Amino acid sequence: MQFIDEVKIWVKGGDGGRGCVSFRKEKFVPRGGPDGGDGGKGGDVILIAEKGLSTLLDLRYQQSYKAENGAHGRGKKQTGKSGEDLIIFIPVGTVVKEGETGEILKDLASEGEEFLAAKGGRGGRGNARFATSTRQAPRFGEDGEKGQQRWLKLELKLLADVGLVGRPNVGKSTLLGRISAAHPKVADYPFTTLTPHLGVVSYEEFKTFVMADIPGLIAGAHRGAGLGSKFLRHIERTMLLVHLMDVSPDPAGDPWRQYEEINEELEKFHPTLLEKPQLAVLNKIDLPVVRMRIPQIRESFQEKGVELFTISALTGEGVDDVVREVGHRWERFREEAHG
Q: How far separated are the first and last CA of the chain, in Å rounded?
A: 38
Rounded CA-CA distance 117/34 in Å is: 37
Q: Which residues lie below 8 Å from residue 295, measured CB to CB, with a gap of 6+?
A: none
Nearest Cα neighbor of 334 from 231, 165, 182, 208 is 208
Rounded CA-CA distance 33/137 in Å is: 6
* Structure confidence at residue 189 (pLDDT): 37
Q: How many residues does the chain have?
A: 339
81-104 burial: b if 16+ Cβ within 10 Å, else e: bbbebbebebbbbbbbbebeeeee
Mode of pairing for the β-strands spanning 6-12 and 240-245:
unpaired
Tens digit of pLDDT per residue, the chain (339 long)? 455 678 999 999 999 999 999 998 776 665 678 999 999 999 999 999 998 787 788 888 889 999 999 999 999 999 999 999 999 999 888 999 999 999 999 999 889 999 999 999 999 999 999 998 888 889 999 999 999 999 999 988 777 789 888 888 888 888 988 988 655 444 443 333 456 677 888 888 778 888 888 765 644 444 444 344 455 667 777 889 999 999 988 877 788 988 998 888 788 877 888 888 999 999 999 999 999 999 999 999 999 999 999 999 999 999 999 999 999 999 998 888 766
Q: Which residues lie below 8 Å from residue 177, measured CB to CB, with a gap of 6+?
A: 183, 184, 186, 199
Can you point out the beta strands (E) in the chain? 6-12, 45-50, 64-66, 86-91, 94-98, 104-108, 114-118, 149-156, 162-165, 197-204, 207-213, 240-245, 278-282, 308-310
Rounded CA-CA distance 126/17 in Å is: 10
Rounded CA-CA distance 120/67 in Å is: 8
Alpha helices by DSSP H, listed for 212-286, are 228-231, 255-269
DSSP, collapsed to helix, strand or coil, labels residue 34 as strand
* Structure confidence at residue 221 (pLDDT): 40
* 205: DSSP letter: T
CATH (residue range 6-156): 2.70.210.12
Domain boundaries, the chain: 6-156, 162-337
- Beta carbons of 177 and 187 less than 8 angstroms apart: no
- Cα dihedral sign for 285, 297, 180, 169? negative
In words, the CATH class of domain 162-337 is: alpha beta
* 156: DSSP letter: E
* Structure confidence at residue 315 (pLDDT): 94
Can you point out the beta strands (E) in 78-224? 86-91, 94-98, 104-108, 114-118, 149-156, 162-165, 197-204, 207-213
Q: Which helix (H) or strand (E) holds 57?
A: helix 57-61
Rounded CA-CA distance 21/34 in Å is: 7
* Structure confidence at residue 1 (pLDDT): 43
Q: How far is CA 180 from CA 106, 213, 323, 325, in A?
A: 32, 11, 11, 16
